[in-house]
Amino acid sequence: MTDTPTAAPFLTAWFEILDGDEPSRILDLISDDFSLSILFSAGDGNATDFAGDRAALVGYLEQREKGTRTHHLLSATTLGKDELFLGEVRRSGVPEASFVAAGRVNDEGRLQRLLIGRSSQVRFD
């Protein structure tokens, strides 16, 4: 993560944990009724959608290359319970893709909804 201050504190912390030594710690941050969709573009019109509940997030975590890809903040904002995070994915420090994440944090401070789109075809540099 970058050292840039953000108006999306939950998602900023989420990506810091995801990029850290124990990414599975994000499972402690989700609500009982959590749902997500992570649309992960592989280029050439191919994409994988990790969609569902906690089990889908576990599946996503299991396929990740831990320590290889990192998430870097470009801009972020918060509106009520919703946070938006625009970022860049880097592989071993080299820019690889752009992504946008939208999350809703419930009254208990847990992530209830998460929608992420990632593509190497559009860059925000």
pLDDT at 6 over 80: no
pTM, two decimal places: 0.89
Topology, domain 9-119: Nuclear Transport Factor 2; Chain: A, (3.10.450)
* pLDDT tens by residue, 49-105: 999 999 999 999 998 877 788 999 999 999 999 999 999 999 988 999 999 999 999
Task: Name 30's Cβ contacts closer than 8 Å, sequence gap at least 6.
Answer: 54, 57, 110, 111, 112
| Six-digit token string for 48 | 């994988």
